[in-house]
Amino acid sequence: MNADDFFPRSSRKRSLENQEQTHPKPRPQMDSMSPVALRLAISQMTTKKWALQDDLDLATELGLLHVGLWRWKYEEETEQRTADLLEKYGIHPSSISFIGGFTGTNGYLLEDVMAESKNVIRYASWIGASTIVVSTGERGTHIQKHVMRVVRDSLVELADFAAEYDIHLALSPMTPSTAHGWTFITSLRKCREVIEQCNHDHIGVCLHSFHTLQERHWKAELRPLISKLKLVRLSDGLTASKPRKQCLPFAGKMNLAAMLDFLESNGYRNLYEIDTWSDEVWQCEQIEPFQKCLQEIITNFPSAPDQ
């Protein structure tokens, strides 16, 4: 996936005149909702072609309380309208994606990147999003030491700023085959190196199952990062080994159940987002595949220790 398709270059404001009246659909009663569903969100990258209100309707019908916001969508709707819709639906943002591009390989000036990122942090504080997902930018022609210094200094400056708002930044490692245009963090080990270099309480990890489960020793590499996990994103692959295409969680052949069990047994208690980047899923206009996905996650989710 091309990073330019997911990073807004500038805010695309749309007139609020003649906007349709919003009528949120009834939400299931809290006491009838699955405890697992209370920790789940739907990422707006999964429903790439849907409007924001459609995403909120979907979350409501699925009985979810959270949506992972994507900047393309909320900036198109305008920040104020997005905040109003979230409040009207009673939906909480699980995260905002993405800030970053510190290395300049996408054509961004670092000064602009930093100013834009701070604006996103302010907005996250306004709407109650505690996690912002970061994509560093790829290495390009820079030497590794220079890239690490630029990224470290940028992250620490932003993390200091984010700490004032009680916001956390989450680095998102990707596989080498998918990281082009996105990041030089292509393994959990590299992610840990950046985390250790930054040494900041407000810098952590956004783990993605599609990328994580392609690492041969993912459990050993992940264990030291458990305490730094701010968010976990769930997707599946059409094959068990080195899949090229993503699909909705538990619609493929990757061992998601093992990852969920590992995370929960090692104390992870934060949110999960359904986050699938797939042309087939992006063409979907029905709720049924998402209902099936939710049920599969609930069915395969490990039982609480006291059960």
Query: What contacts 24+ positions apart, CB below 8 Å, involve 173-179?
Result: 173/205, 173/207, 173/208, 173/211, 173/212, 174/208, 174/211, 175/210, 175/211, 175/214, 177/242, 177/244, 178/1, 178/211, 179/138
Residue 132: the pLDDT is 99
Q: What is the pLDDT along the chain (307 residues), one digit of tens a residue?
A: 566 555 564 443 433 343 455 667 666 555 557 899 999 999 999 999 999 999 999 999 999 999 999 999 999 999 999 999 999 999 999 999 999 999 987 888 999 999 999 999 999 999 999 999 999 999 876 688 889 999 999 999 999 999 999 999 999 999 999 999 899 999 999 999 999 999 999 999 999 999 999 999 999 999 999 999 999 999 999 999 889 999 999 999 999 999 999 999 999 999 999 999 999 999 999 999 999 999 999 999 998 755 4
Task: Report the alpha-carbon distance of residue 114 to residue 102 in Å, rounded.
Answer: 8
For residues 139 and 174, what is the distance between their CA atoms, to the nearest angstrom?
Answer: 13
Q: Which domains does the chain have, with CATH numbers?
A: 33-300 (3.20.20.150)
> Please, which residues have CB within 8 angstroms of residue 95's CB and are 6 or more apart in sequence?
41, 43, 68, 69, 129, 131, 132, 133, 170, 206, 231, 271, 273
Bridge partners, 79 (sequence order): none
Q: How far apart are CA 6 and CA 178, in angstroms?
A: 14
Give the pLDDT of residue 8: 60
Q: What is the pLDDT of residue 3?
A: 63
